[in-house]
Structure 1
Amino acid sequence: MKILFHICCGNCALYPIKLSRSDGHDFTGFWYNPNIHPHEEYQLRLNSLKKLSDIWHVEMIYENEYKPEEYFEHVRYVIARSETTKQSPENVIASPTARNDNAPPFPERCKSCYRLRLEKTARSASDEGFDAFSTTLLISPYQDYDRIVTTGKELSEKHKVAFYEKDFRPHFRDAIALSKELGLYRQKYCGCVYSRQEREEEVKAKELSRRTRE
């Protein structure tokens, strides 16, 4: 079966590639991640994936142009309907690098982000004659597996192309070890500006907690 896999990063792609190939499927990767912030981080992840594709001879389709506005426009409705919003959606989208206390509520923004990237993948799979589409997000225990699958199935019906569901999560730790072995770049947060801010706050909180115990 020819499967077009949305790839969020090289690390998460490792076992979907290995297992899909071992199951006899034809794996093609699809890079489309306008959510990743900032541009430097986007480039690090893209370059790491290109390194992996060269090593493992992975067929790839790249949406190379960095278009973060597509992500912000897509999560716009989540921002607009949030009761905690203190800033207009236009200001958030216009200044994505600014600290936003009115971040779209988790996990609503994540659901919207899944749909944005999977929609693009499903449409491309249908247009290019693939038998199915899927995503490497299915390997991460930090993602909403059920929501991803539900979204994939909805888009499968819409675009008339099968959604390939496989739970890769049992291989997550092995993927981390293999990514270190291959020297792939390993990110410290999911991707969007909001997840980056949350990660920074988490690190600060842990550091403060450590200091208070000393």
Structure 2
Amino acid sequence: MKRKFTVEAPDGATRVLLHTCCAPCSSAIIECMMQHGITPVIYYCNPNIWPEEEYRIRKDECTRYATALGLEIVDDDYNHDAWLGCVAGLEHEPERGGRCVRCFEMRLERTARYAVEHGFTVITTTLMSSRWKSLDQINEAGRRAVARHPGVAWWEQNWRKGGLSERRAAIIREYGFYNQQYCGCEFSVRIKD
């Protein structure tokens, strides 16, 4: 991949906790970080994914990619019932609506908490690579998450530019990744129907 733009984590961090939603979304981001001297530790926190079999498929693909690159992956507990409680009342919201905001907040809060407990000073997320998600909503959720956890910075990086979308497509083909057709939650599937 050509380095079309420079990435630098806050405070020059060389180790970052990367909240990861799936292998396709994370692939080019991870590669880019590594090319810039940053080691991501993959944090798989996705209680929103439904059904559980879908969760496992996506987790297995993330694990396969992490293993191929010699990276650590941390699997957060799958607690879909807790996630359902978190988004209760927002089931009929559209994509980029209130349900998505609440979902981002929950997952990034857990990421920030894990960061503090395990000595990370910077977090970011692969959610920012998806054209279906609002960068503003994700960044706001990330800023709120780190505000509750002093010592952790939110890395606000637009992972859609610099050729990363094209590189993502190439890596998906190269690894033969399972590439899902919905964000993960049952409500996003129903909205598409």
Residue 123 of structure 1: aligned partner = 113
CA contact 1:6–1:135 (8 Å) conserved in 2: yes
8 Å Cα contact 2:40-2:71 kept in structure 1: yes
> What SS does the corresponding residue of 1:130 show, helix, strand or coil?
coil
Q: Which amino acid in structure 1 is aligned with residue 58 of structure 2?
A: R
Give the SS at the match of 1:123.
helix
Letter in 1 for 2:93: P
Q: Which residue of 2 aligns with 1:143?
A: 133
The residue number in structure 1 matching 2:5 is none
Which of the two has higher C-alpha Rg? 1
Indicate whether 1:39 and 2:30 are aligned. no
The size of the alignment, in residue pairs, is: 175
| Partner residue of 2:153 out of 151, 158, 162 | 162
Calculate the TM-score normalised by the size of structure 2. Answer: 0.86
The equivalent of 1:114 in structure 2 is: 104
**Greater Cα offset, 50-59 or 4-13:** 50-59
After superposition, where does 1:43-62 map in structure 2 within 5 Å? Answer: 43-62=56-75
Report how far residue 180 of structure 1 moved: 1.7
Cα distance, 1:174 vs structure 2: 2.4
Could you state the TM-score of these two structures normalised by the residue count of structure 1? 0.78
Q: Please state if 1:132 is matched with 2:122.
A: yes
Query: Corresponding residue for 2:189?
Result: 196
Structure 1: 5+ residue stretches without partners: 80-102, 202-214
Residue range with higher mean Cα deviation, 188-197 or 169-178:
169-178
User: What do you get for the CA RMSD once the two structures are aligned?
Assistant: 1.3
Identity, % of aligned positions: 30
Which AA in structure 1 matches 2:178?
A: Y
Task: State the distance in 2 between where 1:155 and 1:48 align.
Answer: 27
Task: Note if contact 1:52-1:184 (Cα within 8 Å) is conserved in structure 2.
Answer: no
Distance between the aligned counterparts of 1:3 and 1:17, measured in 2? 10
1:182 aligns with 2:175: yes
Say which SS state the counterpart of residue 104 (structure 1) adopts.
Answer: coil
Deviation at 1:172, TM superposition (A): 2.0
2:109·2:146 contact (CA, 8 Å) conserved in 1? Answer: no
